[in-house]
Structure 1
Amino acid sequence: MTNAITELGNAHKRDDVPAFRAGDTVKVHVKVVEGSRSRVQVFQGVVIRVHGSGVGRTFTVRKVSFGVGVERTFPLNSPIFESIEVVTRGDVRRAKLYYLRNLRGKAAKIKERREA
């Protein structure tokens, strides 16, 4: 039974998603449908968590828009977004960056990870 479930899940997995983790800054190109029209909206922010595994995997992106913190959670294998683009790689020591919610200004800035 679990074999059938994993096969079904693998059929719906997206293969165009780049590898990213908490602390990375990403641009998520989201499809927005308004009535009969459809357009692409870019949501850029810091990944504060990656949750789950397999088909049900989700990630949460946080940005500050006009002084207000905005968080949005996306299913990783969802057709809602067209693409994900990694802007910068962050150097963090935590898997969940919930502490960023309480930080303001430069304190909320994440150091860039240098590749060796």
Structure 2
Amino acid sequence: MVDPRNEQEVPENKHRLSTLKGTVIARRNAGLNSIFRIRRMVAVDIESVLPLYSPNIKEMQVLNKNKTRRAKPYYLRDRKNTLKKQ
């Protein structure tokens, strides 16, 4: 499990950068068409599919690495979000 932090440009506004912080739960290697699926836990759980070699992604950092049970940890989808009000 890898936690990248991405800065991605918003297409309609060239000067604003948004930072995404989450857990990578899948990666598909297909040359230049490689993608990764990131799961962010904010008020709601959001999954985003981003191209790995996108010119819109300026920087990517690995914040920590953990051992997982599988190569693609889709089981993290069932994890409860601590920020949600029950």
Task: With the length of structure 1 as denominator, give the TM-score of the two structures.
Answer: 0.64
Larger Cα Rg: Structure 1 or Structure 2? 1
Moved over 2 A (4+): none
Q: Distance in 1 between matches of 2:26 and 2:73?
A: 7
Q: Secondary structure at the residue paired with 2:69?
A: coil
Give the alignment partner of residue 34 of structure 1, picking from 9, 12, 24.
Answer: 12
The higher-RCO structure (CA 8 Å, 6+ apart) is 2
Q: Which residue of 1 aligns with 2:75?
A: 99
Contact 2:3 2:21 in 1 (8 A): yes
Give the alignment partner of residue 70 of structure 1, picking from 40, 46, 50.
Answer: 46
Structure 1: runs of 5 or more not aligned: 1-22, 107-116
Report the AA paired with residue 40 of structure 2. K
Indicate whether 1:84 and 2:81 are aligned.
no
Structure 2: runs of 5 or more not aligned: none
Higher strand share: 2
Q: Which residue of 1 aligns with 2:35?
A: 58
The alignment yields a C-alpha RMSD, in angstroms, of 1.5
Report the AA paired with residue 55 of structure 1. L
